[in-house]
Structure 1
Amino acid sequence: MKIDKKCAITFGRFNYFSKGHAYFFEEILTKWDNLVIMCLENSDIRRQIIPTNDLLLNSFYKECDKNFIKKLLPVAIRMEALNYFAKKYPNRITIISGERPENFPSRFNMDFPANKFDLVFSKDYSNYFDLLRCEAFEKILDREVTVVHPRRYIHNSEIALLSNKEEKFWPEVWDYYQKEGILI
């Protein structure tokens, strides 16, 4: 991929792609021309990278471990759902899969150098993991994290409690999940 100016990059599991994810990506696209979305493979944290003297990182890794045990859709299905959204923004969004950056920080920084890519996350102040993630990745990757605030935060844990989940998904994505027999 040829980079002429700075792009935004973000990463996450993006399990059950919802309107909350879409609002986040749309907010990024108001500030950057191009966005790379890395859909993380389901792998755990390499134990040797956890420092024993850093409370922030230890808390972050504990939260990651809790999330790791949650069942994820296969990465190909998660990427396909992301692609339904990307079609709305032709030539502006690239969807890739990748390993957890915290396991290989130098590789991530080599593949997505800070002089060409801004690392972007949302930061919902009512969500503990969002708060930890931004600060932790600044330490882990030794680079600034830029924060955006989408017009609405919708977390999958919130969707799980609803009886009518369909309204929280793009119609194309909802139809895709139904066609594939994916229960939400």
Structure 2
Amino acid sequence: MNKARTAILISGRGSNMMALVEAASAADFPAEIACVVSNRADAKGLDFAAGRGIPIRVIDHKAFASREAFEAALDAYLRSMNVEAIALAGFMRVLTAQFIAGWDGRMINIHPSLLPAYKGLHTHERAIADGAKVAGCSVHLVTAELDGGPVLLQAEVPVLAGDTPDVLAARVLKEEHRIYPQALAWLAERIIEERE
């Protein structure tokens, strides 16, 4: 089966990366995980990826004089691996418009809110503070506007009385692990169609 070569970018434990790797292990999944890249050498998700035989690379943003230099190194590595799609999975770097333009329509991100609500950080704290009755997660195409690209998939969860941000985050995370592979499959199928 012809599959879209996908890079997953992480900065931490990579639980969404793990969900994507698990999904991609199915014979009929349209994406293959070509590599996992982290900007942090201590990212726990790297061990998981390496244990699955997936090429890993650390490109430490602190080792570069500028964001542009970091992104140039990241871009060069991704292209050397013949990557066609990028999935951001807890990658804690805001990418420049120039980098994003080079991957236009081929990079997705998962965000722990029902966009356009609660862009940025501390989504669960903000939802609880606002008295929101529902929370959730969104997968969107990455554009130059932070958390502002077209939404591909969303999932809702209830906000329950007594929820703490951590309890709500755990409920949302289960849905993230469910919808992110679906969104990657959609993107991969689109890329394969373009290629053929």
Band the TM-score falls in, shorter-chain normalisation: 0.3 to 0.5
Q: Give the TM-score taking structure 1 as reference length.
A: 0.40
**Normalized per residue, which structure has more strand?**
2
Q: Give the TM-score taking structure 2 as reference length.
A: 0.39
Greater relative contact order structure (CA < 8 Å, 6+ sep): 1
